Amino acid sequence: MSQFRLEGKLHIVYILKYIRYGIFLSLLPLLRVLLSWDLQALLLALWQDAAILLGMLVLAIAIWRQSSFRLEEDTFVLCQGLFFRRKITVRTSQLAAVVLHRPLYLRVLGGTRVELHSATCQPRVVQCHLSKRHAALLAEVLMPVEQDAVLYAPSGAERVRFTMLSANILTTAALVLFSARQTEKILGEDVGQLLGQLALDNLNRLEQLVELILPAGIAWVATLVFTLWGIALFFSLLSTSHFRVGRSGGIIHAKGGILNHSEQRIALAFLTYCDVRITPVARLMRCAPVYLQAGSYTTPLPLFMYKKGREGLLQALVPGFCEVKKKSQRLLDRSLPQFFWKGGVVFLLSIALWAVSVWKLPQWSMMLLIPVVLGVGLLAVSLEGWLWESIFQLSAGVTCACYTKAFTRHECCILTQDFCLQTMQTPFTQQVARCNLTLFLPSGEKLLIRNLKQYEAHKIRLTG
């Protein structure tokens, strides 16, 4: 009988990264051909490319044959490498989350990307590729889900709101830009320019429709924003399809996705905080996305949609959760510049640009109203921070923090006492007995509460 609870080799998809290195190396001989334009040099370069790819394939297979994993009684061991061997040992009792990713290409190949997130120690994340069967067995052994009682499964109008709250237009814009550049590299500059021109023509047609209801100056910006928002909603729709969140004992179990399947198992014992994010979209939807952090793992998508009157359902999912109530602060000596300087700078610069455009370039004046509106939004959120940014501790040892960042107000319910505190004072804040309080969480994340009364900062105790 084996002394290991589970053991095996990594999935063959593990060698793809080495094949990718070989493809990059094979580009070097082709660079000389571009300089000489010689048929004989081209044939020689192709032979060299074939030798490089074959050599990298043999090396990758040899590395894969020497790579393995095993699950012992209380440790997970991952062995990788050929000449330089690397052995990673993780104590299973200190795992905060187990995440299984099955994107479309891995589903076709029968593989799964497994991420093991540690509670506190390094390395914070251990990643490997296993077969579907081995990944399911590993997740079940590490964090067993016996009775998966579904607590949240959005459908109908709830599903629409959840999809909109999960969409991230900035991430989508970066992804679209990166994908466009990679496509141009793979297909060639001519094909890339052709596809870019095709996309630009379609955007121009959409702009002509938008110009029917908006001025020409901002029609293009509105078209681009709505296009990126549509792409973000599409990806969010795929990610949140068949989304289910449940709880089994001390494990939160979430899974979903139609093309790219994902499964998350989070240990309640290592839950750090529950973050309710009041974003601009959340204000329109009158509900807010809820993100969880356990150890070094923060959920990439919200696990719940919170609104007034649903505290009981969230408490069933996250025991100990308390609603973060906004507490009015003493504003007599609270610093205005510390809260308003970023939004104020953006607003003043935008107003200055808009005024110059009205004088010199009136055709740009409507477009330059957009940063003015963004500056007003930043000032509005800064006003919320000036009024309500605070931190307090409940009798149960739960710490509640309310703070603002960019366009979002965060209402964090911190469920752990495993954090450090730091107060910072300047000569000006010392005169009014105020300070900045920073919380250092186990994941390395820092929460900053600005211009807090010093006696309120001293009330935060490390207990338990």
| Domain boundaries of the chain, sorted by first residue | 6-142
pTM: 0.78
Digits of tens for pLDDT over the chain (464 positions)? 345 678 888 888 888 877 888 777 777 777 777 666 777 777 777 787 888 888 888 888 888 888 889 888 888 988 887 788 888 888 888 899 999 999 888 888 889 999 999 887 777 888 889 999 999 999 999 998 876 678 777 766 666 666 656 655 444 444 444 444 444 444 444 444 544 444 445 445 544 544 444 455 555 555 556 666 566 666 666 666 778 888 888 899 988 887 788 899 999 989 999 999 988 888 888 888 889 999 889 888 888 888 877 778 888 888 888 888 777 777 778 888 899 999 999 999 999 988 888 888 777 777 778 788 889 999 999 999 998 898 888 876 788 899 999 889 999 999 888 888 899 988 888 888 899 999 998 888 899 999 888 888 888 877 65
What is the pLDDT, as a whole number, of residue 398?
86
Which residues 6+ apart lie within 8 Å of 383 measured at CB?
A: 339, 340
How far from 248 is each of 135, 267, 317, CA to CA, in Å? Answer: 19, 10, 10
Pinpoint the alpha helices (H) of 213-365: 216-239, 280-285, 311-317, 336-360
416's tokens: 């752990």
Check if the beta carbon of residue 132 is closer than 8 Å to that of residue 14: no
What is the pLDDT, as a whole number, of residue 72?
85
Residue labelled with tokens 């093991």: 116
Check if the beta carbon of residue 102 is closer than 8 Å to that of residue 113: yes
How far from 384 is each of 306, 328, 335, 391, 401, CA to CA, in Å? Answer: 20, 10, 13, 14, 14
Nearest alpha carbon to residue 13 among 133, 138, 128, 182: 128
Helices first, then strands: H and E counts in the chain:
14, 21
The reply to whether omega before 123 is within 30° of 0 (cis) is yes
Report the relative pairing of strands 149-152 and 390-393 from DSSP bridges: unpaired
Strand partners, 413: 274, 400
Nearest alpha carbon to residue 145 among 155, 137, 157: 137
Check if the beta carbon of residue 292 is closer than 8 Å to that of residue 277: no
Which residues 6+ apart lie within 8 Å of 337 measured at CB?
A: none
What is the pLDDT, as a whole number, of residue 354?
87
First to last CA, the chain: 42
Check if the beta carbon of residue 45 is closer than 8 Å to that of residue 112: no
Q: Which CATH number is correct for 6-142, 2.60.120.620, 2.30.29.30, 3.40.50.920, 3.50.40.10?
A: 2.30.29.30
What is the pLDDT, as a whole number, of residue 190?
47
Taking only Cα atoms into account, the Rg of the chain, rounded to an integer number of angstroms, comes to: 27
Which residues 6+ apart lie within 8 Å of 225 measured at CB?
A: 169
311's tokens: 């505290």
- The CA distance from 319 to 447, in Å, is 22
Q: Cα dihedral sign for 183, 186, 190, 191?
A: negative
What is the pLDDT, as a whole number, of residue 130?
92
Check if the beta carbon of residue 249 is closer than 8 Å to that of residue 265: no
Strand partners, 255: 244, 263
Check if the beta carbon of residue 457 is closer than 8 Å to that of residue 390: no
Pinpoint the alpha helices (H) of 100-242: 104-109, 132-142, 157-166, 169-187, 189-210, 216-239
Check if the beta carbon of residue 152 is closer than 8 Å to that of residue 245: yes
Check if the beta carbon of residue 298 is closer than 8 Å to that of residue 291: yes
